[in-house]
Amino acid sequence: MNAVAPAEKARRAMDRRLKRRAVVKGEITIPAVPHMLHEYVAMCVETFEAVGCAFDPTQLSNLEAILREQLDIAFAASPRSEIVLTYESPIGTAMNYFVRPQWLSLEATYDNWIATREPPLFGTHPDARVIELAGRAPDPREFPILDIGAGTGRNALALARRGHPVDAVEMTPGFAATITKAARQESLRVRVIERDVFASVDELLDDYKLILLSEVVSDFRSPEQVRGVLELAVRCLAPGGHLVFNAFVAADGVVVDEAMREIGQQMYTSIFTREELDAASSSLPIQLIADDSVYDYEHEHLPSEAWPPTSWYADWTTGRDVFDLPREECPIDMRWLVYRRT
């Protein structure tokens, strides 16, 4: 082994001393994804070592324990959550840091969108898949529709303009107010119900011809919530009526681990397997009759001036918000799933 030259050894010693004279302050904000704990620990260690603060095994174990606790707290509270690590290194080799969780509810997240983003938030044109299903009605006036998670009314208002009586359920107050105002201005048959649709079905009908959830299931946190949608459809659809929703589905053979699920939820991209979707509909009088790529269907059927609906739509619907891969290599895809009430 070649000995380090005296000049190089001296240079390294000066570098160590220089770093000890530096005063460092910073902040790291990362999405709360508990099963990415080891990657987050490595990120912190790399950051701290870059400024001359290496952790011994005990300090490293403490950092890992703190991060684990705060990640779990934040993610359990909301998928719109993160942890914030602030750190400061005074002159010397010590590193002081503090970790805190922070989060927003789903309603608060979308209220923040209203306050900070330029409209239209979800595009201006209704979903082509929804319009195709509604277009099967001989008489729209006799074809009531339930729009769950109606957002700004992109689908509900368009359907009402076609003559459909529409019930729009929306839990975000700002979105509900937007739909109500637009419906009144145009004298449309839209009844806005401002609440969580799963809290009670008392205000809902039992003979809807179409129930839709557009860009809603992507915010779910468990297959049990999908089961809840299917049970509600059985309760509220007329025989022969349809339920349609879009959801991110893993490709056959892909193992969906907890890290993938957690990152997906953080990215408005909750991921389900086909086995989970099949189990959710098990024993219910409802049958899956169509399963199409959202990207492909909307790209083919939307008017050219309406494509893409938003700047983020293409990457989001093809799974690239979660996976930094070309579309053809992404292990998930957003699918339009259409069920018929038997």
Confidence of residue 51 (pLDDT cuts 50, 70, 90): confident
Percent of the chain with pLDDT over 90: 80
| Amino acid at residue number 50 | A
Instruction: Report the pLDDT value the prediction gives residue 113, as an integer from 0 to 100.
Output: 85
Per-residue model confidence (pLDDT) at position 76: 97
Write out the two tokens for 331.
């292990």
Query: How confident is the model at residue 201, as a pLDDT?
Result: 83
Residue 20: band (very low, low, confident or very high) from pLDDT cuts 50, 70, 90 = low
Give the model's confidence band at 119: pLDDT under 50 very low, under 70 low, under 90 confident, else very high.
Answer: confident
- Looking at residue 149, its pLDDT comes to 96
Please check the confidence at residue 99 and state whether its pLDDT lies above 80: yes
> How many C-alpha atoms does 48 have within 13 Å on its Cβ side?
25
Concatenate the DSSP letters of all residues of 52-111 into one string: T-PPPHHHHHHHHHHHHHHHHHHHHH-SSEEEEEEEEE-SSS--EEEEEEEE--HHHHHH
E strands of the chain, at which residues?
24-31, 81-89, 96-103, 145-148, 166-169, 190-193, 208-213, 237-250, 271-272, 286-293, 332-341
Among the listed ranges 16-30, 35-49, 179-193, which one has the minimum average pLDDT value?
A: 16-30
- Which tops the pLDDT comparison, 22 or 52? 52
Q: Is the pLDDT of residue 320 over 60?
A: yes
The pLDDT value given to residue 59: 95
Q: How far apart are CA 92 and CA 115, in angstroms?
A: 44
**Mean pLDDT of all residues in the chain?**
94
> Structural domains in the chain?
6-103 (no CATH), 106-341 (3.40.50.150)
pTM: 0.90
Q: What are 296-317's pLDDT values in tens digits? A: 999 999 999 999 999 999 999 9
Measured distance CA(320)–CA(203) in Å, rounded = 38
How far is Cα 161 from Cα 154, in angstroms, rounded to an integer? 11
Which pLDDT score, from 0 to 100, does residue 50 have? Answer: 83
Interatomic CA distance for residues 252 and 164, integer angstroms: 38
- Dump pLDDT digits (tens) for 202-253: 899 999 999 999 999 999 999 999 999 999 999 999 999 999 999 999 999 9
Give the least confident one: 66-80, 114-128, 186-200, 289-303: 114-128
